[in-house]
Amino acid sequence: MLDSVSYVRQINDSANFIRFRLGHDKMPEICIVLGSGLAPLADMCEIKHEILYTEIPNFPRSTAPGHEGKLLVGTLSGKNVFMFKGRFHYYEGYDISQVVFYVRVMARLGVKTIVLTNAAGGIGDDMHSAELMTITDHLSFFAEPALRGPNLDEFGTRFPDQSEVYCKEYVTLLDECAKDLNISLHKGVYAYSKGPQYETPAEIRALKVMGASAVGMSTVPEAQTASHCGMKVAAISCISNMAAGISHMKLSEEEVFENAAKTSADMCALVKLFTERI
């Protein structure tokens, strides 16, 4: 991990590059991370700028299947937005500071709201594959903390409160949007697993006892970092499969992509209306 001075310098360099590419366009205050099933939302957006991650100084490379590695800038529902087509995962081999690097860059550019989406394994008894869940809280006991290392005082406090990482106002708003769209939307706790292997049935049983409703390999580091930066966080999971030991079927990447595609229309409609009402 870089020392904090060098790390902040890299954040500033990346932010300045993006600012230069946007020219005189108004800087968005909303960032949407297009996780599994949400890529078609980009087609609903009026894209003004498309920047490859490979062009942005200091940016990691997205290597996960289905993650294109592009930053889109445009308007959605009349709002200026950043859209990330592809994120970075700890299991790809990145240091946790690299995984959350883009969140720090967004904070430097003035983003106030971040919408995180993902594919997750369902744990709750009332859940089924190809459904959606609003994240209300998370578990990350066994994961490397996103804020480990020297504190970046200019972004946030050394010991940030975690009682409302996921904005309660946004949880309510998402619920209202889902009802207006006649979309079934669960609410629950997301458990973060480092991956890349899926969890064992024993791990899932333990997570269920602890109150988890879904489990996945992303989102929590970004949410922790965004909260540290003072952003409002909204997060939605696509229940792309039932977690290990619940359905008595072996888990596969193909099932994840198949069910994410099934929920794509609902996920896109929900995020679109949510963005309009923020």
Distances (CA, A) of 41 to 14, 141, 142, 144, 268: 25, 33, 33, 31, 5
* Cα–Cα distance, 28 to 112 (Å, whole number): 9
CATH label of the domain that carries residue 273 = 3.40.50.1580
Domain that holds residue 162: 4-277
Whole-number CA gyration radius for the chain: 18
Q: Can you state the percent helix, strand and coil of the chain, rounding each to 5?
A: 35, 25, 40
Where does the pLDDT of residue 162 fall: very low under 50, low under 70, confident under 90, or very high at 90 and above? Answer: very high
Q: Which H or E run includes 101?
A: helix 101-108
Closest CA to 207 of 274, 134, 109, 141: 141
Q: What is the pLDDT of residue 208?
A: 95
DSSP state of 273: H
Distances (CA, A) of 156 to 5, 53, 107, 205: 15, 26, 11, 35
Can you give the pTM of this predicted structure? 0.94
Closest CA to 195 of 213, 222, 228, 219: 219
Q: Is the pLDDT of residue 41 over 90?
A: no
Share of the chain above pLDDT 70, in %: 94
Residues 6+ apart with CB under 8 A from 118: 35, 36, 216, 218, 219, 235, 236, 237, 238
**Cβ neighbours of 250 (radius 10 Å):** 8
Q: Bigger pLDDT: 259 or 49? A: 49
Q: Bigger pLDDT: 274 or 2? A: 274
State how many domains the chain has. 1
- List residues bridging with 83 in a β-sheet: 32, 72
| Cα atoms in the 13 Å half-sphere on the side-chain side of 115 | 29
DSSP state of 145: P
Span 158-181, mean pLDDT? 97
What value does the mean pLDDT of the chain take? 91
Residues 243-276: pLDDT tens digits?
777 776 677 677 666 767 777 889 999 999 999 9
Residues 195-236: pLDDT tens digits?
899 899 999 999 999 999 999 999 999 999 999 999 999 999
Q: Is the pLDDT of residue 66 over 70?
A: no
Both tokens of residue 215? Answer: 């489990």
Residues 133-147: pLDDT tens digits?
999 999 998 788 999
* Cα–Cα distance, 189 to 48 (Å, whole number): 36
